[in-house]
């Protein structure tokens, strides 16, 4: 039920996967929207705080997810060819890497001058070091391109899942959506 089997994802993996999906989608949309707000927009100060708060939530979730992935077994990848298995694995680990890189670069933007990362008056993470202006700007660009990279790769990942579902007609997509009753 909670733990993955050879053929089926457990509740832990399924919940982590879809929470991650929701957070990534929301953070991406809010992130792109908030940077173009004008100074007099009522959300000018509010949205970045939500972005930071849920960014930290996603970071914690991603760490837990990667840990879970390492500790628990994963269902066998259903693919005809060996290169498809390799591609699926590479994409999964690339997604994890991006999921770590995104909060890290976000953290660097907010703490570039040594201040803590905070939202709504709470300190979420302490500021540990100061970056030169050039490095801080580089972290900002990397944050944006990592986000686009994650969305692009997640789209490939989703298209592959749909291909399994509609073309191969296997349980790849279904087993990440619900647990078949035994």
Residues that bind other proteins (CB under 8 A): 38-40, 48, 109-115, 133-134, 136-137, 140
Q: With respect to other proteins, which residue has the nearer C-beta, 95 or 112? A: 112
From the CB of 118, what's the least distance to other proteins, in Å? Answer: 11
Chain CA centroid to CA 48, Å = 18
Q: With respect to other proteins, which residue has the nearer C-beta, 51 or 175? A: 51
Q: With respect to other proteins, which residue has the nearer C-beta, 93 or 122? A: 122
For residues 106-120, one letter each, b for 16 or more C-beta atoms within 10 angstroms of the residue's C-beta and e for the rest, the string is bbbbbbbeeeebbbe
From the CB of 116, what's the least distance to other proteins, in Å? Answer: 11
For residue 49, the surrounding DSSP H or E stretch is helix 46-71
From the CB of 136, what's the least distance to other proteins, in Å? Answer: 6
Give the E-state strand segments of 51-157 in sequence order: 117-119, 122-125
């Amino acid at each position: 039920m909670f733990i993955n089997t050879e053929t089926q994802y457990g509740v832990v993996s399924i919940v982590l996967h879809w929470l991650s999906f929701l957070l990534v989608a929301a953070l991406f949309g809010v992130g792109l929207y908030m940077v173009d707000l004008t100074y007099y927009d009522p959300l000018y100060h509010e949205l970045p705080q939500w972005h930071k708060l849920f960014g930290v939530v996603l970071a914690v979730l991603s760490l837990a997810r990667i840990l879970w992935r390492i500790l628990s077994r994963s269902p066998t990848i259903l693919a005809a060819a060996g290169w498809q298995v390799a591609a699926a694995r590479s994409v999964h680990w690339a997604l994890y890497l991006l999921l770590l890189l995104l909060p890290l670069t976000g953290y660097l933007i907010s703490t570039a001058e040594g201040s803590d990362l905070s939202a709504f008056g709470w300190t979420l993470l302490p500021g540990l070091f100061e970056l030169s202006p050039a490095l801080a700007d580089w972290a900002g660009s990397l944050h944006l391109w990592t986000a686009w990279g994650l969305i692009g790769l997640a789209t490939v990942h989703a298209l592959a899942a749909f291909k399994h579902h509609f073309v191969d007609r296997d349980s790849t997509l279904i087993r990440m959506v619900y647990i078949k009753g035994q």
